[in-house]
A and B are shown apart, each in its own frame.
Chain A
Amino acid sequence: MAKKQTVSFKLNGKEVDVVVEPRELLIHTLRERLQHTGPHIGCETSHCGACTVDLDGMSVKSCTVLTVQCQDAEMLTIEGFEQGGALHALQEGFTQEHGLQCGYCTPGMITRAYRLLKENPSPSEEEIRYWMAGNLCRCTGYQNIVKAVQYAAKKMSATSS
């Protein structure tokens, strides 16, 4: 068995150190060592997007990233969205527009939409659908997810201007 390695990164603004085997996947480190169970395990094959986290400015599927690749990284998970008791505009949008039913895909959806809106603050519906295509939802039919992202885009652009 390969030697364990210490890996340090910033998770939702806090420095963390973990000691892991090189083969450990980021999703397992987050869920099992760091008790961040927001990112979900759906397919484990980099298709469904339920495990999406924001890593150094990229939306990534944490089932297909090794924790040892994350030395010095900055990471954001759904646990980092609420600030001082106030929901993030995306969380509010998913609530207001009924962008979820069972909720399993929601942390991944919101985390992915966060990066999309950073890159494109006012995406068209077509752009939302194209750039959110790495996240699967089996409940909603996506209609209200699109609306939730649009809600957040509108609210965020109103607050930032």
Chain B
Amino acid sequence: MIPRGFEYHAPRSLPDAIALLEQYGDEAKLLAGGHSLLPMMKMRFAEPAHLVDLGRVSGLKGIREVGDAIHLGAMTTENELIWSAIVQQKCPLLVEGARLIGDPQVRYKGTIGGDISHGDPANDHPALMLALGASFVLKGSGGERVVAADGFFLGTYSTALKPGEILTEIRIPVPAAGTGWCYAKLKRKTGDFATAAAAVLLRMKGETVQEVSIGLTNAGATALKARQAEDSLRGKTLNDAAIAEAARLAMSICEPAADQRGDVEYKTAMTGEMTHRALRMARSRATATA
């Protein structure tokens, strides 16, 4: 399997990459880690005439703590996330999620920015970003803008990125100390996409839920934020009945595509189960404030 012919560009700077995108418009595709795009090109699902490789663009990598946030360069790889002391300490949800992506070789190449920009609801970072309340820095020739993850994902392979824009940085507010977390993912085997998965951040005050956020993977045309489920939990005692009700509400917004991983009913049920498991695990990891 060999991709259709294309011209390869390896710009060294972000302005050069943006200029290439502007010059070639619809005919150009950005190459990050290449572990979604190159397989699609090999299958001829994607046939860009111009490939703009971000691999040599300076300034797109790195993990920094900036005030109460973690800033991740878009070309930071999954293994770099997993091995980062900052991410391990401040944002273990992201480590747990990244460890469940692809396989070791895929994680050396696959990038968080590529995973997000691709707009595939089966990718894991979109739901993680929704749960974490992340925002994205998008740069184009007209300057930069910062958009929230909630609202960025518009449809399958469709995001708020405008033609000529590049996602350069992911900004994640550091969850407060004591916040519980879990990414529960059901997959058939290593390297598979999720049959269903749920990302949860949970802040407890005594026995009641102070704050909770829930993101769902591969349960619709985009990653989903389970707002009704979140609303049902805030201020409530987090007992089994409350968790079951939240899982039911999460299932009520699911519209998964049937495929070899299961039919709609099964995938919806599994999304409920993953929500259930993620909430219970997050509860066990949370330290309640008085």
Interface residues of B in 2-38 (CB under 8 A from A): 2-8, 10, 31, 34-35, 38
Which residues of A122-137 have CB atoms within 8 Å of chain B's CB atoms?
Answer: 130-134
| B105 interface hit (Cβ, 8 Å) | yes
Interface residue? B190 (CB, 8 A): yes
Q: Which of A44, A64, A112 contacts B35, CB < 8 Å?
A: A64
| Contact A23 B53, beta carbon cutoff 8 Å | no
Main secondary structure of the interface of B (DSSP, over half): mixed
A61 engages B105 (CB within 8 Å): yes
Number of residues of chain A lying within 8 A (CB) of chain B: 33
Is A22 interfacial (CB-CB < 8 Å)?
Answer: yes
Identify the stretch in A66-74, A85-93, A97-105, A147-155 within 8 Å (CB) of chain B at 4 or more residues: A66-74
**Which residue on chain B has the smallest CB distance to residue A20?**
B8
Interface contact B190-A133, CB-CB below 8 Å: yes
Which residue of chain A has its CB nearest to the CB of B99? A130
* Distance, CA A1 to CA B6, complexed state (A): 7
B38 touches A60 (CB 8 A): no
Q: Is the CB of A69 within 8 A of B5?
A: no
From B6, B10, B108, name the one whose CB has the most chain A CB atoms within 10 angstroms: B108
Q: Which of A23, A52, A60 touches B4 (beta carbons < 8 Å)? A: A23
Q: Given the known A-B contacts A49-B103, A66-B34, A133-B190, are A58 and B2 also in contact in the complex, defined by CB atoms under 8 Å?
A: no
Whether B55 contacts A69 by the Cβ 8 Å rule is yes
Q: Number of residue pairs across A and B with beta carbons under 8 Å?
A: 85
Q: Which residues of A contact B35 (CB under 8 A)?
A: 46, 64
Asked if B5 and A46 sit within 8 Å, CB to CB, the answer is: no
**Which residues of chain A come closer than 8 Å to B53, judged between CB atoms?**
68-69
Chain B residues with a Cβ under 8 A of chain A: 1-8, 10, 31, 34-35, 38-39, 41-42, 51, 53, 55, 79, 102-106, 108-109, 190-191
List 13 additional A-B contacts (Cβ < 8 Å) besides A2-B6, A68-B8, A116-B104.
A2-B7, A2-B8, A3-B7, A23-B3, A23-B5, A46-B35, A47-B191, A59-B105, A65-B38, A65-B109, A66-B8, A69-B55, A134-B104
